[in-house]
A and B are shown apart, each in its own frame.
Chain A
Amino acid sequence: MSGLGIPVLEHRLANGLRVVLSPDHTVPVVAVNLWYGVGSRNEVAGQTGFAHLFEHMMFQGSSHVPKNRHFELVERAGGTLNATTWFDRTNYFDTLPSHHLDLALWLESDRMGWMVPALTEETLRNQQAVVMEEKKQRYDNRPYGDWDERLQRLVFPKGHPYHHKVIGSMEDIGAATLEDVRAFFSTYYTPGNAVLTLCGDFDPDDALARVDHYFGEIPAAPPPPPIPGTSHIPSRIGETVRDLVQDDVPLPRIYLAGRIPVYSDPGFHAAQLGMSILGEGRASRLFRNLVRGSGVAKDAGTHAFPLTTGSGMYVAWLTGFHGAEPDALAGHLTSEMEGLVEATEQELDRVKALASTRMLASIEDVSERADLLSMFACLFGTAERLNTEMDRLLAVSVEDVRSFGSEYLGEDNRALVIYEPETEDERAA
């Protein structure tokens, strides 16, 4: 397979806004997707969680759109919408019947261009409370909920943009002022720091004229400041670091992580496929050897995070059974990871086949396709890269995967977070 053949048209408005258009008339729907090049990596000490808190504020009304009107109008039109915040970006997405395209453009342009005057103390207080409940629901009130925070602290040194988690700390979320929020908006929510992608049922020339109509008058702004802190770090951690957590968890669980190449590095794809050989599917090493074979694992898996700033991260995890010895579990996991240096052609073919099916399935949905196009435009400067992404995966050789294993999966690049169920005595103490 060479190229997915998705139509991709790229433009840039005079104010710097990048626009990606990908028509598809199968179903009369359109996805409107915006990536802003701001995430938790842009936060400074004392302001962790700001990018995400700000994402919430973007639904609290803009100059011509009262609070909650955005949701009301899109839902009434028969659309869905949401937004997410991640390390490197914040994305906003509306998917709606295609005859309502203008509605989405009007709403998104209003909050890109006319947001600051609508920010109020009342809506900020309300969303601070909502975000605190979100943090409790997603992280604090569930077993193992702090695993990612603990891993990030071990994998990325203090001062690195990925050292802290996206949701931030309760203290920082609570301390945000209206002035902070205004400053954050003016710095990062600028046309030049955004990508707007439309995917679905529209005529590209007509749609581009509409985009210019709604977004064209938003003034250009200076580029955002450099990412704070020290992005450049060694390619490996340099040692094995451990964090033993005795906690109110049901079963012992091991999280293992380390640095890997950044997404833009050719080595990332070898990391991605290597992780897939190890932990994806029932024919993966972890399932075959530890879940099905020796049976020491209740479940296990892997993931390569596509990150851009200084270093990426892989994560592997394994849940043991009641009463299992955590150190022994960690030993099983690390020795499977080391085994990647003996990956076979057949294993690589398997994960390439899985990746190929997944890629096709992910572009079937206009919303997901639009998000991928925005991602490639935002992170790599061109949305067209989506069409050749599969080729890059297929070009990875078994030698590439083995080299990745020997360079990155040794004991000089390991962070272990080990959860051990606390005993009744410890709980009472």
Chain B
Amino acid sequence: MSLPLDRTQPPAPGPLRSFEFPPVPEDSLGNGLALRIVRLDRLPLVSTMLVLDAGEALLPAFRSGMAQLTGRALQGGTGRRSGEALAEALENLGVELGVSTGWDATTISLTSHADRLADALALVSEIVLTPSFPEAEIDRVRGQRLASLRQRRMSPSALAEDLTGYLVYPPGHPYARPASGVAEAVSGFDRVAAREWHAQRYRPGGAGLVVVGDVDPDEVRELATASFGDWTGEVSQPTAETPQASGDPGVRMVVAHRPGAVQSELRIGTVGVGRRHPDFFALQVLNTILGGAFTSRLNLNLRERNGFTYGVRSRFSFRRGSGPFTISTAVGTDVTVDAVGEALGELKLLLEEGPREEEVSAARDFLAGIFPLQMETSDRIASQITRLILYGLPSDHLSTYRDRIRGVSLQDAWEAGRRVLGDAAYVVLVVGDADEIAPGLEELGHGPVEILSEDSLPPFYPNS
């Protein structure tokens, strides 16, 4: 440190320190429950996740929301305990149990002191294996969800999210409806529905238990066997065909009218790809360049050059099926049309002319570099491993991730982008004041602008 400091140049990095995340041993109980245990002994803490093959995408439209609602009702009571007694038993251990349900799975997660793991696992087993779904809890959960749907309708960002799926996917496709369910189906949620869904999908076959923290793996295996060894059953895979998502290449413009809105929620969406798609790594790199980081093209344009927005991001929602690719931002009413033009222009430019070599190398460095941050804490590691189970990814996925990212060339990223995002059917959705915005959008020359009024919204939300 004795050299005089030259402030004009960024300092050179020190020697790279290795970060090897060892492959996670694949283990399972006799009933098919996958078991993954990682020892991490920095603090006396342990994170546990139980992932169930019980996602919203499996449901027919008239049952939409039922996977989420069953998850919500899960802590309502068991054969032995009321919901209130369960809450006390868990929280006295210092544990708050999370139950989250997405398109692909229901995940039960908790973080506890390492010495509370045995008691916590026994409670999780009781809750997941023997829920009683009391009538009062079912009614409460249903009423809360209907109220939440009312809130979603009046929240510009939530409405934009719901409408994006609706506009991007064909009718009847699960992704065309909100993951939180639609009002009519939610109204029909009852004890019978919850019990049926639980009996079909809360099964060890296809499920996984992930435990990460200051634990002895042999002991955890014994605890898991004691808590989940007697659980039985398989889950069936859906047989119904989902409608193919495709449309004519082009841009469809839609404005959901909110008179007097001070800002516009803007989404540009199309159908992306599934999690197991061979272009996964190349598309991550491409998306980082377009809108996956602060210094991506979209943010530098819309925020840092033009001041249209607080921020803009693009992302692929990688699911079991082909989830959407979405550009999301909120922009001033008076600059909405310009922002749409700029965003579409950046997308087109990137696909037509390709990324620059230095952008590709920066994106690779970013994605490879932030990987250790995603593997830093017990809950983040557990979360990564649940995805390996859920999507059937190889056990060395995490240890080879950085090399796979570094192996993406400019050509790989560009070609993957053109395959998936070129010649696609795009939806431009603006939730904002149509009187101010629609005429300008027409002038962008992508055809007529459809206006959704309060009365012409899809039937997702409760009436009155």
Contact = CB atoms under 8 A, between A and B. Distances in A.
B17 A364 contact: no
Interface stretch (A138-146, A309-317, A401-409): A138-146
B8 A130 contact: no
A319 B143 CA distance: 13
Contact of B378 (A132, A249, A364): A364
A72 B295 contact: yes
A136 B42 contact: no
A129 B304 CA distance: 10
A269 B147 CA distance: 35
A357 B42 contact: no
Contact of A353 (B5, B94, B294, B373): B94
A250 interface: yes
Interface in B122-157: 137, 140, 143-144, 147-148, 150-151, 153-157
A77 B14 contact: no
Given A72-B295, A350-B91, A353-B91, A361 B5 contact: no
A71 interface: yes
Contacts of B373: 29, 79-80, 95
Nearest to B156: A141
Chain A binding surface SS class = helix
A216 to B, nearest CB: 9
A269 to B, nearest CB: 17
Contacts of B379: 361
A381 interface: no
A354 interface: yes
A295 B143 contact: yes
B14 A295 contact: no
B304 A282 contact: no
B307 A125 contact: yes
Given A28-B18, A140-B262, A283-B87, A75 B295 contact: yes
Given A72-B362, A129-B307, A354-B94, A141 B261 contact: yes
Contact of A133 (B96, B330, B462): B330
B308 interface: yes
B428 to A, nearest CB: 19
A96 interface: yes
Interface in A267-303: 281-283, 287-288, 291-292, 295, 298-299
B309 A354 contact: no
B346 to A, nearest CB: 16
Contact of B368 (A78, A126, A133, A353): A78
Contacts of A153: none
A281 B150 contact: no
B154 A249 contact: yes
Interface in A96-141: 96-103, 105-106, 110, 114, 125-134, 136-138, 140-141
A78 B18 contact: no
Contacts of B68: none
Given A136-B263, A250-B151, A250-B154, A68 B376 contact: no
Contacts of A411: none
A251 B147 contact: yes
B315 interface: no
Contacts of A86: none
Contacts of A106: 7, 10-11
Given A282-B87, A299-B144, A350-B88, 18 more contacts: A27-B372, A73-B10, A77-B13, A78-B369, A100-B14, A101-B14, A130-B303, A133-B332, A213-B5, A292-B140, A298-B144, A321-B147, A351-B91, A353-B94, A357-B95, A357-B113, A364-B376, A366-B376
Of all A-B residue pairs in the complex, the 5 with the closest CB atoms, nearest first, are: A78-B369, A129-B307, A353-B94, A282-B87, A102-B11
10 contacts: A24-B42, A68-B300, A77-B369, A78-B366, A79-B373, A80-B373, A102-B13, A137-B310, A321-B147, A353-B91
